Amino acid sequence: MYGSYYSSQSISRLIKVAKEEVKAWRGRPFSEEYFVIFLDGSFLFIRRIGVEKEPVYLALGIKHDGGRG
């Protein structure tokens, strides 16, 4: 990935596929019950044209058997 060249068309296709997969993942039903759900967020500094703070969210579910999802 680093040191590689990707055309703008390739990047657009990758973003489109990623968005479709995220949309499908978000719409999936919970197949199991979770005993505990942890939700947290933090801000990271992202360098683009300038440096900006952007939120990153984390969700972690713990099942009754101790497994994580």
Residue 24 lies in a domain: yes
Question: pLDDT of 57-67, one tens digit each?
Answer: 998 888 888 77
Q: Is 12 helix (H, G, I), strand (E, B) or coil?
A: helix
The total number of structural domains in the chain stands at 1
The helix or strand, by DSSP H or E, that contains position 53, with its residue range, turns out to be: strand 51-63
Residue 68 lies in a domain: no
CA nearest to 63, candidates 38, 36, 26: 36
Spatial distance between the Cα atoms of 22 and 25, rounded to a whole number of angstroms: 5
Question: pLDDT of 20-51, one tens digit each?
Answer: 999 998 898 876 788 888 999 999 998 888 89
Q: What is the DSSP letter of 25?
A: H
Domain that holds residue 55: 8-63
Query: What token pair was written down for 58?
Result: 């984390």
The pLDDT confidence band at residue 16, using thresholds 50, 70 and 90, is: very high
The residue count of the chain comes to 69
Residue 25 lies in a domain: yes
